Structure 1
Amino acid sequence: MCAQSLEFQNFSQDVEVDVSDDRLTSIEGGELYGQLSNRLIIKTHSMTDKYSLESLAEGICDCRVQVSALYASPRFNYFVVSVPLEAVSTVVIKELSEKSEVLLVQPDVLLIRNRSSQNELSGNIQREPSPLSSIMPFWNVQGIGQVGNTREVRIAIIDDGFDFTHGDLSHVDVAFAYDVERQSFDVMPILPVDGHGQRVAGVIFGAHNNQGPDGIFTDARLIAIRQTKQWTSHTLLALSVAARAGAEVINCSWHSESLMQPVADIVNDLAKWGRAGRGLPIVFAAGNKGKVISINEHEAAIRSAIVVGALDQSFQIASFSNRGPFVDVYFPGSKLLSTNVNNKYGKYSGTSFSAALATGYIALLIASNYEISLAEINNKLSLLAWKK
């Protein structure tokens, strides 16, 4: 694709980006660095199916297209439409947007993901008491009741991979596993750097075996979703798969460097209507830049999400933790012991691990009272909230 500008809307704001070698280099009102693909993200009315959208898109693009469903609800649908790269243009986006069936059109953009992990220590790690030994008395978490005979709870983790051969994770009951990139059921990490999901899983599910981390809810069932690239289409599909697989809480211990409206749409829809109308809690890490989160900055600015910041070892807001009115609650996030790849352990800091602890806590609330609503969960979290 030759150098040009590309225009579309995001949160009803006109966005103009420069495109060179299929890469986005800037965005009005801020900086955005990403990559462009031959795909369009299209939001339609709920009655529009993939076949009618395919016919509509082919008429405008004057070429064959491929349509795949990403998310469906009684309120709207999201599709990804593959077209020739030259059809990803302002003209095509505008013509599609003007159709009565269509509510929103955006290019499918690859953004940078912030995994919200800060520093780490690995190697021969001396085991210390679980962080729960200090968390539980401080917040009286034990008051939520005994979990032993309650209904099973499914926790979804969307992250970069999971190795269940690890001694502290081999017991995990995996209800469903899916890799949104390879479209397979294998969620093993591929690259040496793909260990973030492993660490998040250890905080939640780690076996109480006097070796590694004592997970906050080892008996929950896991929906493991592998996603390493922050394409809008991948995020929408990951959230959709998690919800359809029966997740009672979704952990996203990360955020990208910008917020795309389709992601906010689905988070808002699930938060209101998920879990059979009770509201599906979707947990995002606040991020580790030590600043106040601004409106629509990234996923941690979605009001309906549960956004978690980090406390240091003195139960003060960690210096690295993002903060401000978008942060709902703070959990410990400094030098927590967890699992790593290759059957190893490490100590990690970051809001990723605060979000993992919060996810486990929310799952315990649901296990204790399956009828609990998202509003009631938020109310209980507000009782734990540290200084904002």
Structure 2
Amino acid sequence: MYFILKSHKGGCFLLLKYFNWNAINVYFSLAACLFIAGLSAQPTANSVCFNSNKERVTLSQYNNDFLIDETGSKYAFNKKIIIQSLLSQKAVYELHNQITRVQAIAEVNHGTVYWVTPKQEHFFDVFSALTAHQGIISVEPDIAPVRKLLRANHKVQLKEVYSKNSLLSSLKPPFCDSPVNRVRVAIIDDGFDFSHTEFNELAVLLEYDADEHVLDASTTGIVDYHGTQVAGVIAAKQDGIGVEGFAPTSELIAIRQVSTWTSSLILAFHVAKLMKADVVNCSWVLPFLSDITAVVIKDLASSPHRPVIVASAGNNRQKACEVNKLSELESVVVVGSINKVGNLAEFSNYGQCVDYYAPSSVKSTSLSGYANFGGTSSSAAIVSGIIAQLKACGVAQPLSQLHLFENIKPAHSVLNFRAKESTKKHY
């Protein structure tokens, strides 16, 4: 199966003149950019305006490599543009004579998501022209918050770690003896080491690197370990040795994605859709979510096979709605952590954007053999594994069965001593 990016390099003609910032007839689609932090100001030629969390965001050029918002937060930008449109790839290419390449990175219910490469010196001209074009549904820059994707693991003391079988037994899983379905689990994370003995019976359907666009999800260094730990919780073989996964008969889709580039996130989720994943695990926190990314995630969740997307709440001891923008999506199941007595773990994020709480601090596979794996990363992986195994046992609505597990707690049942909050999922 080939789904590597396609491109079109045909001829082009000038369809739109460069945007004239001094013209009296300013394009209405940029009108919202006039209001920043309550002040009215026309954007300069070196700024972009687009939607994030259904709010209008303006980023101005900081230097050649970074954009900056009104709060001072910096975003790397690669001089590329992401659009959602009903136009064909060729038609998009011909919208501006400074566009050098157009690549389709996702198909959604309402159009196609394209990755547009303009000549770098004309990035802002092309962005303005695409924003003003009626055939374009949404336009945004391809950016990355200036920090790595935050893996939601938490360092734990050895005394806190569940033994290899204690977690399985304490959860008292009502699993079937013989699975009736083959379930596909996509893990979007950093690198994977499938040479580990716990995976020698595992069916890995695909390895894909959404940053490098290659069919390989292997680890690239000693810090590239998180995906291997998540995979162990979900799919390590059950043989009474080492550790045991919750869904060892799963077919794995390993998607390596370590950056926060919007284009890579979109591609990662679309690969999960193309591979017909039944469960998608995201054991990480996303500090910034563009509207097009949200569209792609919701499109994945609404696929005919109805995959369950599971994400970590995060380990900041804060409201998940404010820290992890994935948690605001109704189509994402958000998992926080509880301690051994069933109360909110002291490190876990919390609030109305969290759906379930699960145990944490487990032993899992690692690059060196086995290691402690904590935080809401492990909690999300546990829930993903349980959902996958329920699906394998023929349960059509696995979320409705989570209450049968002794230590999987609906959010409303977890004792939270922290301040109440009223933010709710709104996407």
1:155 aligns with 2:185: yes
- Superposed, 1:33-52 pairs within 5 Å as 33-45=74-86, 48-52=87-91
CA offsets 1:295-331 (integer angstroms, 9 cap, x no match): 6952122121111111122222111111111111111
1:107 aligns with 2:133: no
Q: For residue 7 of structure 1, what is the aligned residue in structure 2?
A: 49
Structure 1 runs (4+) deviating above 6 angstroms are none
Q: For residue 308 of structure 1, what is the aligned residue in structure 2?
A: 335
Out of 241, 244, 249, the position equivalent to 1:214 is 244
Distance 2:365 2:352 in 1: 32
**Contact kept? 1:282, 1:305, Cα under 8 Å:** yes
| Structure 1 residue 65: Cα displacement | 1.6
Note closer, same or farther for the CA distance 1:261–1:64 as it changes in structure 2 (3 Å cut): closer
Distance 2:222 2:285 in 1: 21
Distance 2:162 2:310 in 1: 30
AA at the equivalent of 1:81: V
Q: For residue 337 of structure 1, what is the aligned residue in structure 2?
A: 363
Give 3-state SS (helix, strand or coil) of 2:342's partner: coil
| Structure 1 residue 17: Cα displacement | 2.0
CA offsets 1:91-133 (integer angstroms, 9 cap, x no match): 43232122122111111011331110111569xx995534111
Q: For residue 95 of structure 1, what is the aligned residue in structure 2?
A: 129
| Structure 1 residue 18: Cα displacement | 3.3
Out of 235, 240, 258, the position equivalent to 2:265 is 235
- Superposed, 1:24-39 pairs within 5 Å as 24=66, 26-28=68-70, 32-39=73-80
Note closer, same or farther for the CA distance 1:79–1:25 as it changes in structure 2 (3 Å cut): closer
AA at the equivalent of 2:320: I
| Structure 1 residue 147: Cα displacement | 5.4
Note closer, same or farther for the CA distance 1:203–1:54 as it changes in structure 2 (3 Å cut): same
CA offsets 1:55-111 (integer angstroms, 9 cap, x no match): 11xx2xx3242111111133221111112223332x432321221221111110113
Distance 2:221 2:176 in 1: 39
* Residue identity (%): 30
1:320 aligns with 2:347: yes
Distance 2:390 2:320 in 1: 27
Note closer, same or farther for the CA distance 1:324–1:32 as it changes in structure 2 (3 Å cut): same
Aligned-pair Cα RMSD in Å: 2.4
AA at the equivalent of 1:351: T
Q: For residue 72 of structure 1, what is the aligned residue in structure 2?
A: 107
- Unpaired runs of at least 5, structure 2: 1-44, 415-427
Distance 1:85 1:244 in 2: 31
Distance 1:206 1:120 in 2: 21
Distance 2:284 2:64 in 1: 25
Give 3-state SS (helix, strand or coil) of 1:94's partner: helix
- Unpaired runs of at least 5, structure 1: none
**Contact kept? 1:17, 1:24, Cα under 8 Å:** no
| Structure 1 residue 40: Cα displacement | 0.5
Distance 2:210 2:119 in 1: 22
| Structure 1 residue 39: Cα displacement | 1.0
AA at the equivalent of 1:338: S
| Structure 1 residue 250: Cα displacement | 0.6
Distance 2:186 2:178 in 1: 20
AA at the equivalent of 2:247: F
Give 3-state SS (helix, strand or coil) of 1:97's partner: helix
AA at the equivalent of 2:79: N
In terms of mean alpha carbon deviation, does 12-21 or 79-88 score higher? 12-21
Distance 2:357 2:392 in 1: 22
Q: For residue 118 of structure 2, what is the aligned residue in structure 1?
A: 83
Note closer, same or farther for the CA distance 1:121–1:195 as it changes in structure 2 (3 Å cut): farther
Out of 136, 150, 170, the position equivalent to 2:200 is 170
**Contact kept? 2:217, 2:254, Cα under 8 Å:** yes
| Structure 1 residue 218: Cα displacement | 0.6
Distance 1:247 1:302 in 2: 19
TM-score where L is the length of structure 1: 0.86
Give 3-state SS (helix, strand or coil) of 2:385's partner: helix
User: What is the aligned length?
Assistant: 362
Give 3-state SS (helix, strand or coil) of 2:318's partner: coil
**Contact kept? 2:335, 2:379, Cα under 8 Å:** yes
Note closer, same or farther for the CA distance 1:118–1:365 as it changes in structure 2 (3 Å cut): same
Give 3-state SS (helix, strand or coil) of 2:363's partner: strand
Q: For residue 58 of structure 2, what is the aligned residue in structure 1?
A: 16
In terms of mean alpha carbon deviation, does 307-316 or 324-333 score higher? 307-316
Give 3-state SS (helix, strand or coil) of 2:253's partner: strand
Distance 1:132 1:80 in 2: 44
Give 3-state SS (helix, strand or coil) of 2:197's partner: coil
AA at the equivalent of 1:363: A
Note closer, same or farther for the CA distance 1:177–1:78 as it changes in structure 2 (3 Å cut): same
Note closer, same or farther for the CA distance 1:295–1:347 as it changes in structure 2 (3 Å cut): closer
AA at the equivalent of 1:15: V
**Contact kept? 1:23, 1:33, Cα under 8 Å:** no
Distance 2:335 2:299 in 1: 20
Note closer, same or farther for the CA distance 1:166–1:105 as it changes in structure 2 (3 Å cut): same
Distance 1:64 1:88 in 2: 9
Note closer, same or farther for the CA distance 1:147–1:181 as it changes in structure 2 (3 Å cut): farther
